[in-house]
């Protein structure tokens, strides 16, 4: 298990947990600082959204700086440099917050970032950078306990195994028991909820129930969520070598987002976790080049469903 500051484990496993990176008190204050956002997102955006990004846009400079101090961003830079080398830093433009969806539990498809979720990306370039520690670094800081993420340790150092190739022959990768609108990289015409009819009416009701009133999942939704959660656990466990990452409030996790990974989002379990890329000058330059050719890349658009776009 990759844990507690041994840098060789980051190289070997592609992830590392630093327990208690911030004090419980700081974590509590940081939760309070971002908590109103949860309700705001529910009211104004998709009620099943699990990602607020970029955080800066919602927090404003003063509160953002306060959050940075509470979350130990100065120490973070030293940590990142010690693992990734000179010039590594948390990308403040991309800093975001994971939250729990308010209505439906779901699971992401297993994937390696960019290779599997940036349509149009040149795979050969991605593979060319795979072995370099200067690329594809990301971190999470859990402000409350968080066991959403699953990873396959060591997979960032190799291509897919035959089993993985058989499990995920097509792109985009989707999860067959998750609704299309919750499958982030599904991109066919029926991606979005209907604009009229019974399902549309139900969705409108839910937007008031969860979005405006902020109520917890009702009985039918709870039954759906329990069933989906059980299948999601099976889905995660079925990946050879997969481990669940369990963070306590204040723990930091760094990982290579080129490892195979996925996450389960439970509607009834709070999640308040900061995240961003750990960038280097090389990785920023490369991404800027890719941005020109990759559709919707960097805009986070793959996560938006129709009721967020309007």
148 binds, among ligand AKG, Fe ion, none (CB under 5 to 8 A by kind): ligand AKG
Q: Which of 70, 107, 148, 254 binds ligand AKG (CB under 6 A)?
A: 148
239 binds, among Fe ion, ligand AKG, none (CB under 5 to 8 A by kind): none
Q: Which of 149, 174, 182, 249 binds ligand AKG (CB under 6 A)?
A: 149
Alpha-carbon gap, residue 265 to 102, rounded angstroms: 10
The Cα-based distances of 153 to 150, 248, 294 in angstroms read 9, 20, 28
What is the closest distance, in whole angstroms, from the C-beta atom of residue 199 to ligand AKG in the complex?
A: 26
Q: Does 98 bind ligand AKG (CB under 6 A)?
A: yes
Q: Does 236 bind ligand AKG (CB under 6 A)?
A: no
In the complex with ligand AKG, which residue's Cβ is closer, 113 or 122? Answer: 113
In the complex with Fe ion, which residue's Cβ is closer, 113 or 187? Answer: 113
For residue 206, give both structure tokens.
Answer: 């839910």
Binding mask 179-218 for ligand AKG (x = CB under 6 A): ----------------------------------------
Q: What is the CA radius of gyration of the chain?
A: 19
What is the three-state SS of 192-256?
A: CCCCCCHHHHHHHHHHHHHHHCCCCCCHHHHHHHHHHHHHHHHHHHCCCCCEECCECCCCEEEEE
Q: What residues does 151 pair with on adjacent strands? A: 243, 261
Q: Does 113 bind ligand AKG (CB under 6 A)?
A: yes
- Which residue's CB atom is positioned nearest to Fe ion? 113
Q: Does 113 bind Fe ion (CB under 5 A)?
A: yes
Alpha-carbon gap, residue 300 to 13, rounded angstroms: 27
What is the closest distance, in whole angstroms, from the C-beta atom of residue 136 to Fe ion in the complex?
A: 10
Q: Which of 261, 279, 297, 307 binds ligand AKG (CB under 6 A)?
A: 261
| List of residues 6+ apart from 232 with CB closer than 8 A | 105, 106, 107, 264
| List of residues 6+ apart from 133 with CB closer than 8 A | 11, 83, 84, 85
Q: Can you give the binding site for ligand AKG, defined by CB under 6 A?
A: 98, 108, 113, 148-149, 261, 263
Q: Can you give the binding site for Fe ion, defined by CB under 5 A?
A: 113
């Amino acid at each position: 298990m990759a844990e507690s500051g041994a840098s060789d484990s980051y190289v070997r496993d592609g992830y590392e947990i630093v327990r208690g990176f911030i004090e419980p008190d700081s974590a509590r204050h940081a939760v309070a600082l971002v908590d109103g956002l949860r309700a705001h997102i529910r009211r104004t955006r998709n009620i099943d959204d699990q990602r607020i990004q970029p955080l800066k846009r919602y927090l404003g400079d003063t509160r953002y700086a306060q959050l940075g101090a509470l979350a130990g961003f100065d120490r973070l830079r030293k940590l990142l440099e010690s693992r990734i080398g000179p010039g590594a830093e948390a990308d403040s433009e991309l800093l975001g917050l994971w939250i729990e969806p308010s209505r439906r539990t779901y699971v992401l498809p297993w994937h390696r970032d960019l290779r599997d979720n940036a349509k149009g990306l040149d795979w050969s370039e991605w593979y060319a950078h795979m072995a370099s520690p200067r690329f594809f670094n990301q971190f999470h800081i859990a402000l409350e306990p968080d066991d959403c993420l699953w990873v396959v340790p060591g997979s960032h150092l190799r291509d897919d195994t035959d089993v993985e190739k058989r499990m995920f022959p097509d792109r985009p990768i989707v999860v067959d028991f998750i609704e299309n609108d919750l499958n982030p990289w599904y991109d066919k015409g029926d991606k979005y909820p209907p604009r009229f009819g019974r399902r549309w009416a139900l969705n409108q009701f839910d937007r008031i129930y969860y979005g405006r009133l902020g109520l917890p999942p009702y009985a039918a939704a709870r039954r759906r969520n329990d069933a989906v959660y059980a299948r999601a656990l099976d889905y995660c466990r079925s990946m050879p070598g997969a481990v669940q990452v369990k963070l306590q409030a204040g723990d930091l996790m760094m990982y290579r987002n080129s490892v195979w990974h996925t996450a389960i989002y439970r509607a009834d379990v709070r999640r308040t976790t900061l995240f961003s890329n750990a960038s280097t000058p090389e990785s920023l330059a490369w991404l800027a080049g890719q941005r020109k050719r990759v559709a919707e890349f960097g805009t986070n658009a793959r996560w938006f469903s129709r009721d967020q776009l309007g």
